A and B are shown apart, each in its own frame.
Chain A
Amino acid sequence: MTQYLLSVHGSDEDYAEIDPATMQEMFEAVEAFNTKVRDAGIWVFAGGLESATTATVVDGQGSAPVMTDGPYLETKEHIGGFWIIDVADLDAALDWAAQGSRACQGKVEVRPFQSEPEA
């Protein structure tokens, strides 16, 4: 089994434009998808993130940590939420990603985790 990060990216403007009814529909669809992921026994973790404007970048490499307000990448779109699932192969991960994409009404990036070190 391999763990995959399924991440959803978007901009604050994208989210601001969604009307409340659609937002409610999306929450319900994502909740139903989450239940399906749990029932399939492949759930590792999932969550939605606050706006990227609430992020802080910390550089602890120097003598004292340096804090910078805002996200690391200076792009318009940021990660807004993600799932981590544990499935057999990429085809299975892509199939779940397609369902997650439909539920959250956004594109989903699928990325494998490095395989766990041998015990």
Chain B
Amino acid sequence: MGPASSAAAIERVFREEYGRLIATLVRRFGDIDIAEEAAAEALLVALEKWPESGVPPNPGGWLTTTAGNRAIDRLRREKVRDSKHQQAAEMYDDTPHESLGVFEDHPDDRLRLMFTCCHPALAPEARIALTLRLLGGLTVEEIAQAFLVPETTMAQRITRAKKKIAAARIPYRVPGADELPSRVATVLAVLFLVFNEGYLASGDGAPVRTDLTAEAIRLARILRGLLPSEPEVTGLLALLLLTESRREARVRGGELVRLDDQDRGGWDRALIGEGHALVRECLAINRPGRFQLLAAINAVHTDAPTAEATDWSQIAALYDQLVRLDPSPIVRLNRAVAIAELDGPEVALAQVDALGDALSSYHALHATRADLLRRLGRSAEARDAYDAALALCDNTAERAHLERRRGELVEPAGGPGDLT
């Protein structure tokens, strides 16, 4: 028995195949719980058999067939529940029944499951949890850790959402053309949130959770493969890749490095190349959306060999387009950062101050203010702004950056009573 069939290796294969496996089982049996239980049983069989026989050539197919057979066995045993499940299967399964035991990959299965998990009738936090659990194959414990909630809370959240899907009959299908854009948007929002939680992790743990960023990229790639002509899907994938390309240079020695200070030689050129190609594809389709514009902004940044060479006027123009699409205060805050480079920190500061009420509890507002005030030589105000940002910031690397910047400011020569 080689290392390829160790328990850890089998579990890795299982996780990689999990989304496909669950999606196929949900289509066949019309019930998420049955699908999950059957998948777990198939894992146990694999853990028992593969160390002897080796990993089969098509592990996904093997797992699907085994899980399908287990589910059928169970349904036969539990005759009482059978009619209910039969009914459920009839509701959901609109594809012809395939012969039992034969593995067929329906590429749409995972797409359908994504739309079920990200249904707008589910609470936003439940959408994220379900997507990571059912499509990403993360355990409840891992998801709970990622979102800093107790495992029991996360388990309840997932159970409640699954119960609603079953009881309220949330459909397992790709929405029709008229609904598709708005429904795709909810799926993209979930993947973006998963990525962001990985990219700027909260809590005392690692500042970057690569498991979450990698999972978001993997799911975005699958979505793009399934919906290649939706430019916002392409835009999101491009945005995630271009952001990911800077990961190594973005945190050094546990401290966040700002874009203009990053070692551009440490950026991942392959990811940048792939991201740029996707952005060009979006430009050719010419139906701009939020994620495409954010990707384009990142493309401009990753195009510049040095921070000084950045085409800030193009970035500001892209932000103008974005503000017209999404006039939220956060977008306007990010636009102000570009304005600081183009028109100077004083102009930008006025714009940031105008957002002060809307974003008073958002750490990035105070961090941006602090930086602009520092550049304007208004050290006392900058120090207060750094304090406000630190009080709200929950990422270890960003805190380290803000603390260093605050420490660089020269303390006043004496207190108010010390004027002699």
Taking Cβ atoms with an 8 Å cutoff, the residues of A that contact B are 2, 88-91, 94, 110-112, 114-115, 118
Contacts and interface: CB of A to CB of B under 8 A. Distances in A.
A112 B171 CA distance: 13
B169 A2 contact: yes
Given A89-B91, A91-B175, A94-B121, A118 B169 contact: no
Contacts of A90: 119, 121, 168-171
B83 A118 contact: yes
B169 A89 contact: yes
B324 interface: no
A91 B171 contact: yes
18 contacts: A2-B169, A88-B169, A88-B171, A89-B91, A89-B169, A89-B171, A90-B119, A90-B121, A90-B168, A90-B169, A90-B171, A91-B171, A91-B175, A91-B179, A94-B121, A112-B167, A112-B169, A115-B87
Contacts, number: 29
A94 B179 CA distance: 12
- The secondary-structure label for the interface of chain A is mixed
Contacts of A112: 167-169
B97 interface: no
Interface residues of B, number: 13
A115 B84 CA distance: 9
Given A89-B91, A90-B121, A94-B121, A118 B84 contact: yes
Interface in B110-152: 119, 121
B115 to A, nearest CB: 10
10 shortest A-B CB distances, which residue pairs? A89-B171, A89-B169, A112-B168, A90-B168, A90-B170, A2-B169, A90-B169, A118-B83, A91-B171, A112-B167
Contacts of A2: 169
A89 B170 contact: yes
A114 B84 CA distance: 12
Contacts of B87: 115
Interface in B65-103: 83-84, 87, 91
Nearest to B121: A90
B185 to A, nearest CB: 16
Interface string B168-193: 11110001000100000000000000
Contacts of B169: 2, 88-90, 112
A63 to B, nearest CB: 37
Contacts of B170: 89-91
Contacts of B83: 118
B205 to A, nearest CB: 37
A88 B91 CA distance: 8
A49 B405 CA distance: 64
Nearest to B83: A118
B27 to A, nearest CB: 15
